[in-house]
């Protein structure tokens, strides 16, 4: 059931909302109206139900031993005076304050007759010498009293002395009417709704799907069904509270050598802290027994989700006032708490990472685990317990079966740095000639432009031990936006216009589909090195063969071009059916000294990317220099493409460099000389329409910007959408040699 929940009463400090309370019932009726204790918060629109007054005894309140440990844990880690739950506050010494009110919603039920009544009851706190939480009855222990009962199912009754009557309770939440009842009716419930970060973007039906880890985490406490007994001719009721679900202690070990941002996230579909305890089923029936079975999650469906599961995202800011800081064994930790009920999902995951991307959090208990923090732990057997998740801040590292964390890391870095390769030299290129054509991998006539056949000859064009290849069209998607409507490859032939008045990307929430080859066959024969890749307009006759051993995945992306047309931002490669958001990256495209400079090595299209994974960032979050140039900018991957001029049919490079564009070779399957499809496929950035990402094919000559032979993923796919999912252990890809220098040797 998906229900929107709003207006949760703000609780206190640390992650918890604990309101425990006992319950008192008595038998034999009276029509006298009795003033009741203050009740739990109620949302507007509550249904009016009939009431009766029952005279009963309330027994001594008991608390589960694990509950006592949980309260003590929270109190011991408090950093300031304040409330740690909806009903617990701490004094200046971090101890539980005495004489606070605990209020519970208590139920009287008869499953056989399908009668359900409710009332509220208040206890008052005190603490033991060792800071354990105790509860006193302000009305006097075991005192006979009048209780007003509201009947929300079945006929009202003032006599609960017969067979089948039971009592139970839920504490810590807000009473609320929810839908989902029989024949469209509403139902009474106790709701648990953390305060979410407001978000009015599309697909956030509850107004937000991220919560700041602070002081408004509700924690439920329940008392399971107990039979009503008799004392001195009146009903006698007792309650024993315990915490259902699991309280997770989240510990992140700092490493300021990696990052001083101290800003993280947790994303899980294994535990949901958002939901309702509803005693009436969707069939309109009452169920007694284990109250935890009343739970119905209302966790929002996150747009950037994994496998279409409901995900809960917690923003863990180590610099926030509410964060707890511990020192253990000389190491510093940031600590938070999160309560939740286990889900019935299969393949549950809890992931943790950097909120700003770049570096990763890594499992502390699995020293040999590779890549970002992913836990498959199932919490169904952890009811009423504290569990600890510990992560270490760690430098960027790819997932198992992957060679790179960021797609862009596969591209050659620039025409700056390593002097051995032509794409890594900072050269002034007057006209269209290399200043030095003595190297055997440069064309003897000095031309900077390569024909397709020349580009395919890796022994001449791809030096440094042949660890590079001419990229395929799909691989060039790491450098250029290449969006399409799902299943419509021809859409990829459209130009992307950046002209301010006619920008293609005007809405950051528009979803586009992009296809990426994670694993591809590289064929090396007769001096030609090429990638088998499926591309638009390739004739179709070889499509089946080309796709046979490719792990080609569809990813969703959001793009936005600024009003002046000079910069384009994107959140790319999320919501894959196989990899979720694991490979998601933030992107920025910007031009420098374009289009009016003649010293062409200064004219650049700069592509900057940072891996963000499951961090729930939107395009608007990354549209600032502060984000790209801040503490974690060292994790940026940047490629500078030379805007040297565009080699086009009928258009020559001019001294004024007015067209001032750039074209890159993309290799198709080599189909042999004489074939109608012989040629290379290109992408270019040009001055057309005031700035355009163009898609051009069958062009005569172009630049080459090579990619590593090492593939993104080590696992092959099979024809018919049969993929070896990352981490399955069935990877069959080839591990090619890695370049010896730059980030390719230690990729971001």
Cite the beta strand spans of 154-304 per DSSP E: 165-171, 174-178, 187-192, 210-212, 221-227, 229-231, 234-237, 240-241, 246-253, 263-268, 271-272, 275-277, 295-297
String of DSSP letters for 42-89: B-SSPPP--EEEEEEEE---EE-HHHHHHHHHHHHT--SSEESSSS-E
- Between 192 and 442, residue with greater pLDDT: 192
Q: Cβ(569)–Cβ(560) under 8 Å? A: yes
Tokens of 508: 């950051």
Separation of CA 407 from chain center: 18
Residue 486: per-residue pLDDT: 54
Most confident of 377-386, 534-543, 546-555, 644-653: 377-386
Residue 217: per-residue pLDDT: 65
Residue pLDDT, tens place only, 613-650: 999 999 999 999 999 999 999 999 998 887 766 554 44
pLDDT-based confidence at 81, cuts 50/70/90?
A: very low
Could you tell me which of 161, 171, 140, 166 has the C-alpha nearest to residue 55? 161
Say whether pLDDT at 23 is over 90: no
Q: What mean pLDDT comes out for the span 592-614?
A: 80
pLDDT-based confidence at 467, cuts 50/70/90?
A: confident
Q: What mean pLDDT comes out for the span 445-453?
A: 57
Residue 464: per-residue pLDDT: 63
Lowest mean pLDDT: which of 253-262, 318-327, 409-418? 409-418
Gap between the Cα atoms of 485 and 225, Å rounded: 54
- Between 249 and 669, residue with greater pLDDT: 249
Q: Cβ(458)–Cβ(469) under 8 Å? A: yes
Omega cis (within 30) before 595: yes
Say whether pLDDT at 61 is over 60: yes
pLDDT-based confidence at 209, cuts 50/70/90?
A: confident
Tokens of 604: 């650049």
Gap between the Cα atoms of 438 and 83, Å rounded: 75
Q: What mean pLDDT comes out for the span 579-595?
A: 90
Q: What mean pLDDT comes out for the span 725-748?
A: 74
Q: Cβ(728)–Cβ(402) under 8 Å? A: no
Lowest mean pLDDT: which of 152-161, 177-186, 453-462, 657-666? 453-462
Residue 707: per-residue pLDDT: 85
pLDDT-based confidence at 322, cuts 50/70/90?
A: confident
Question: Would you call 205 exposed, middle or buried from its count of C-beta atoms within 10 A (0-12, 13-18, 19+)?
Answer: exposed
Residue 248: per-residue pLDDT: 92
Tokens of 166: 């039971």
Say whether pLDDT at 432 is over 80: no
The SS3 assignment for 130 reads coil
Say whether pLDDT at 658 is over 50: no
Which distant-in-sequence residues (6+ apart) come within 8 Å of 664 by Cβ?
471, 476, 479, 641, 682, 683, 684, 702, 703, 704, 705
Task: Name 101's bridge partners.
Answer: 124
Q: What mean pLDDT comes out for the span 283-306?
A: 80
Residue 298: per-residue pLDDT: 86
Domain boundaries, the chain: 25-394, 407-426+436-744
Residue 286: per-residue pLDDT: 93
Q: What mean pLDDT comes out for the span 89-112?
A: 77
Number of H helices, E strands in the chain: 5, 47
Gap between the Cα atoms of 12 and 94, Å rounded: 13
Q: Cβ(554)–Cβ(491) under 8 Å? A: no
C-alpha distance from residue 338 to each of 215, 398, 584 (Å): 10, 28, 25
Residue 689: per-residue pLDDT: 80
pLDDT-based confidence at 721, cuts 50/70/90?
A: low
Residue 463: per-residue pLDDT: 54
pLDDT-based confidence at 715, cuts 50/70/90?
A: confident
Which distant-in-sequence residues (6+ apart) come within 8 Å of 351 by Cβ?
266, 267, 268, 372, 373, 374, 375, 613, 614
- Count CB atoms within 10 A of the CB of residue 285: 12
Residue pLDDT, tens place only, 122-150: 888 877 777 677 788 888 878 899 999 99
Residue 221: per-residue pLDDT: 87
Gap between the Cα atoms of 363 and 263, Å rounded: 17
Gap between the Cα atoms of 582 and 703, Å rounded: 32
- Reported as type and span, the H/E element at residue 605 is strand 604-611
Gap between the Cα atoms of 394 and 368, Å rounded: 13
Residue pLDDT, tens place only, 158-188: 999 888 999 999 988 889 999 988 888 999 9
Which distant-in-sequence residues (6+ apart) come within 8 Å of 82 by Cβ?
12, 13, 89, 90, 215
How high does pLDDT run on average in the chain? 76
Residue pLDDT, tens place only, 328-387: 999 999 998 889 999 987 778 999 999 999 999 999 988 788 899 999 999 999 999 999
For the chain, the maximum distance between any two Cα atoms, rounded to a whole number of angstroms, is 110
The SS3 assignment for 120 reads strand
C-alpha distance from residue 68 to each of 130, 242, 291, 730 (Å): 11, 9, 20, 47
Residue 746: per-residue pLDDT: 77
Residue pLDDT, tens place only, 378-393: 999 999 999 999 999 9
Say whether pLDDT at 53 is over 70: yes
Say whether pLDDT at 6 is over 60: no
Residue 72: per-residue pLDDT: 75
Sign of CA dihedral 83, 85, 88, 92: negative
Which distant-in-sequence residues (6+ apart) come within 8 Å of 67 by Cβ?
20, 133, 221, 241, 242, 243, 384
Residue pLDDT, tens place only, 495-526: 899 988 899 999 998 888 888 888 877 776 56
- Between 693 and 438, residue with greater pLDDT: 693
Gap between the Cα atoms of 145 and 24, Å rounded: 8
Lowest mean pLDDT: which of 54-68, 80-94, 613-627? 80-94
pLDDT-based confidence at 726, cuts 50/70/90?
A: low
With tokens 């008052």, the residue in question is 124
Gap between the Cα atoms of 740 and 719, Å rounded: 34
pLDDT-above-70 percentage for the chain: 67
Could you tell me which of 697, 210, 730 has the C-alpha nearest to residue 473? 697
Q: What mean pLDDT comes out for the span 214-242?
A: 88
């Amino acid at each position: 059931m998906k229900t929107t929940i709003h207006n949760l009463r703000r609780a206190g400090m640390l992650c918890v909302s604990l309101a425990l309370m006992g319950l008192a019932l008595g038998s034999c009726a009276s029509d006298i109206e009795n003033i009741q204790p203050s009740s739990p918060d109620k949302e507007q629109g509550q249904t009016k139900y009939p009431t009766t007054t029952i005279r009963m005894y309330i027994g001594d309140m008991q608390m589960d031993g694990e509950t006592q440990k949980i309260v003590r844990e929270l109190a011991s880690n408090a950093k300031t005076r304040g409330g740690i739950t909806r009903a617990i506050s701490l004094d200046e010494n971090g101890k539980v304050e005495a004489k606070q009110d605990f209020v519970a919603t208590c139920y009287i039920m008869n499953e056989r007759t399908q009668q359900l009544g409710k009332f509220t009851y208040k206890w008052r706190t005190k603490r033991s010498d060792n800071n354990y939480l105790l509860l006193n009855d302000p009305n006097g222990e075991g005192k006979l009293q009048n209780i007003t009962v509201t009947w929300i199912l079945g006929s009202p009754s003032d006599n609960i002395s017969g067979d089948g009557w039971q009592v139970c309770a839920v504490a810590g939440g807000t009473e609320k009417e929810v839908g989902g009842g029989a024949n469209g009716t509403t139902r009474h419930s106790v709701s648990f709704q953390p305060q979410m970060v407001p978000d009015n973007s599309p697909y956030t039906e509850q107004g937000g799907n991220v919560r700041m880890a602070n002081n408004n985490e509700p924690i439920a406490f329940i008392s399971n069904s107990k039979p009503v007994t008799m004392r001195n001719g009146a009903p006698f009721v007792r309650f024993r509270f315990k915490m259902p679900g699991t309280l997770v202690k989240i510990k992140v070990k700092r490493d300021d050598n990696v990052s001083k941002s101290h800003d993280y996230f947790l994303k899980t579909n294994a535990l949901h802290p958002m939901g309702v305890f509803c005693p009436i089923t969707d069939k309109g029936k009452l169920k007694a027994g284990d109250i935890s079975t009343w739970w119905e999650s209302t966790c929002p469906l996150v747009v950037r989700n994994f496998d279409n599961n409901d995900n809960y995202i917690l923003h863990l800011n180590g610099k926030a006032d509410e964060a707890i800081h511990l020192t253990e064994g000389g190491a510093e930790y940031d600590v938070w708490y999160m309560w939740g009920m286990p889900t019935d999902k299969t393949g549950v995951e809890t992931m943790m990472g950097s909120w700003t991307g770049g570096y990763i959090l890594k499992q502390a208990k699995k020293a040999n685990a590779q890549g970002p923090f992913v836990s498959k732990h199932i919490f169904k057997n952890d009811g009423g317990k504290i569990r600890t998740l510990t992560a270490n801040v760690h430098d960027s590292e790819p997932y198992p079966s992957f060679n790179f964390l960021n797609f862009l890391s596969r591209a050659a870095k620039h025409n700056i740095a390593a002097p051995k390769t032509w794409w890594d030299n900072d050269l002034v290129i007057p006209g269209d000639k290399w200043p030095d054509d003595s190297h055997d991998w440069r064309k003897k006539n000095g031309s900077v432009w390569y024909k397709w056949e020349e580009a395919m000859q890796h022994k001449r064009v791809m030096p440094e031990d042949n660890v590079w290849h001419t990229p395929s069209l799909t691989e060039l998607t790491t450098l250029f936006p290449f969006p399409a409507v799902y299943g419509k490859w021809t859409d990829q032939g459209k130009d992307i216009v950046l002209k301010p008045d006619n920008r293609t990307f005007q809405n950051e929430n528009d979803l586009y589909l992009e296809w990426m080859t994670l694993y591809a066959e590289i064929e090396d024969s007769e001096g030609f090195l090429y990638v088998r890749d499926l591309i638009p307009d390739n004739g179709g006759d070889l499509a089946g063969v080309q796709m046979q051993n490719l792990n080609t995945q569809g990813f969703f992306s959001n793009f936005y071009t600024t009003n002046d047309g000079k910069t384009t931002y994107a959140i790319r490669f999320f919501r894959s059916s196989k990899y979720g958001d694991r490979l998601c990256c933030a992107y920025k495209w910007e031009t420098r000294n374009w289009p009016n400079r003649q010293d062409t090595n200064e004219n650049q299209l700069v592509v900057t990317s940072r891996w963000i994974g499951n961090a729930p960032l939107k395009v608007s979050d990354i549209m600032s220099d502060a984000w790209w140039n801040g503490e974690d900018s060292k994790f940026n991957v940047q490629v500078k493409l030379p805007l040297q001029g565009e080699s086009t049919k009928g258009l020559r490079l001019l001294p004024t460099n007015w067209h001032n564009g750039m074209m890159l070779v993309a290799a198709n399957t080599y189909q042999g000389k004489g074939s109608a499809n012989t040629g290379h496929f290109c992408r270019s950035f040009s001055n057309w329409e005031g700035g355009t990402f163009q898609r051009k094919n069958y062009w005569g000559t172009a630049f080459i910007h090579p990619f590593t032979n090492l593939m993104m993923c080590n696992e092959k796919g099979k024809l018919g959408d049969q993929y070896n999912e990352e981490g399955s252990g069935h990877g069959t890809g080839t591990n090619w040699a890695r370049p010896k220098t730059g980030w390719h040797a230690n990729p971001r």
